[in-house]
A and B are shown apart, each in its own frame.
Chain A
Amino acid sequence: MAEIVGALGVPHTPFFPSLVEREGPACETARFFASLTRELEAMRPDLLVMYDTDHLNTFFFDNLPIFAVGVTDTFRGPNDEPRAVPVYTITSRPDVAGHIRRAGVEAGFDLALAQEFTVDHSVVVPLHFMTPRMHVPVIPVFISGHLAPLPSARRCYELGAAVRRAIESFPEPLRVVVVGSGSFSLEVFGPRIAPGKSDGVPDPDWARRACALIAQAQYDALIGESTPQQLAKAGNVGGEILNWIAMLASVGGRRPKFVTPQMEQGHAYAAWTWS
């Protein structure tokens, strides 16, 4: 059977690749991503399952699923031209993805099917840093985290638990790492951006609180406090924490090996490892 061997929480800031290209491997962002890459390589993954919120680049207002699974041999991205990132072809595992979707639907989650799609920086930027050879297949599981009404935090955690059971029932000895992509508090191009910038952190207290709850493995408290009002207060991408919450259903209540906050961006880098 497939086995979940670790989990990661990652940011996906679109200007990080150009920042690291400019500032080099000693800069903070490069070092923080390198710490994740070391953990990921030690996990020897055969497959990544990534919870992600698209920024109206994969899906649009013509058809906007609350939850969707990418079921395809390959997909390409980024489709939104972040600087210093090539357009990659990323391999996937449609057999595992289809199994996750079937098992999820059977468990009561109405998972939309995406067989032909491209992805934006929110999937590709973390991979650009962690698996730039794109040698590890990736299954994206999309959660609508930007446009109200959002799915509840509890629902996202339960989705994560259903996906975990699905992975663990797949009849092939795969080593799977689950990834949650996104910020805790961030406004992008909305009214709460900082003067002179394209983004801002509207609720740094919440970003610190989320980090503290994750560091202490108080996941139930995190779910309880991640109300729609709190996520809206955290900024127009504040709902991206739902990707972390879905990922947390894979860690079995364990504490992270580390949570490294980067509070001026309202996000963190975290790893869970156990086998």
Chain B
Amino acid sequence: MSTYAVNYLCREVLRDHAFRAAMKADPAAAIAKYDLTLEERAALLAGDVATLYRLGVNAFLMGYLPRFEVCGLTLPIYNERIRSCAGDAGVEGRH
């Protein structure tokens, strides 16, 4: 259940201001200590929220990425990418 780690670190972007700053400065280094799959790590660093959503990452928590503009995400970019999953609505309900 490594989506737990993705969900967790998305929330840390909100809660831990030092981690937030680290994610802005050097996201690859900031997430190095987390136990992510290669696919999760690549998707996160690319700001590929559509892939993360399909893997089961929670949308509220991913919302902190554009809100604090980490992993290259702004609201317009996030909006376009997450809306590309519109046919998959409900994926995040798997728990």
A-B interaction: yes
Q: Which of A35-43, A87-95, A97-105, A194-202 contacts its partner?
A: A194-202
Are A198 and B4 in contact (CB-based, < 8 A)?
no
Q: Is the CB of A147 within 8 A of B93?
A: yes
Residues from 2 to 21 in B contacting A, C-beta threshold 8 Å: 4, 7-8, 11, 14-15
- Bound complex: CA of A39 vs CA of B78, how far in Å? 40
Q: A80-B14, A198-B79 are in contact. Are A232 and B93 (CB under 8 A)?
A: yes
Tier of interface size on chain A: 20 to 34
Question: Which residues of B sit under 8 angstroms from A80, Cβ to Cβ?
Answer: 14
CB of A152, distance to nearest CB on chain B (Å):
15
**A55-B60, A198-B63 are known contacts. Are A193 and B83 too (CB-CB below 8 A)?**
yes
Within 8 A of A (CB), among B61-95: 61-63, 66-67, 75-76, 78-79, 82-90, 92-95
B82 touches A236 (CB 8 A): no
Tell me whether B59 is interfacial, beta carbon within 8 Å: yes
Q: Is A34 an interface residue (CB 8 A)?
A: no
B8 to chain A, nearest CB (A): 8
A191 near B88: Cβ-Cβ < 8 Å: yes
Which residues of A sit under 8 angstroms from B93, Cβ to Cβ?
Answer: 147-148, 232
Contact A191 B82 (CB under 8 A): yes
How many residues on chain B are close to A (CB under 8 Å)? 32
CB distance from B24 to the nearest CB of A (A): 16
- List the A residue with the shortest CB-CB distance to B63: A189
Q: CA–CA, A57 to B58, complex, Å?
A: 13
Q: What are the residues of chain B within 8 A of A64 when measuring CB–CB?
A: 95
The dominant DSSP class at the B interface is helix
Main secondary structure of the interface of A (DSSP, over half): loop
A residues 216-242 in Cβ contact with B at 8 Å: 232, 236
Q: How far in angstroms is the closest Cβ of chain A from B56?
A: 11
* Residue pair B4, A191 in contact (C-beta under 8 Å): no
| Chain B residue with the shortest CB-CB distance to A189 | B63
Within the complex, the shortest CB–CB distance from A145 to chain B, in Å, comes to 12
A168-200 residues with Cβ-Cβ distance < 8 A to B are 188-193, 195-198
Contact A188 B83 (CB under 8 A): no
Closest chain B CB from A33 CB (angstroms): 23
Contact with B along A227-267 (1 / 0, CB 8 A): 00000100010000000000000000000000000000000
Q: Is B79 a contact of A196 with CB atoms below 8 Å?
A: yes
The contact of A190 among B66, B75, B82, by CB within 8 Å, is: B82
Which A residues lie within 8 Å of B53 (CB)? 190-191
Determine the chain A residues whose CB is within 8 A of the CB of B60 once the complex forms: 55-56, 146, 188-189, 236
Most buried by A among B62, B76, B82, B85: B82
Cβ-closest 3 pairs across A and B: A189-B63, A148-B93, A190-B59
Residues of B within 8 A of A (CB): 4, 7-8, 11, 14-15, 53, 58-63, 66-67, 75-76, 78-79, 82-90, 92-95
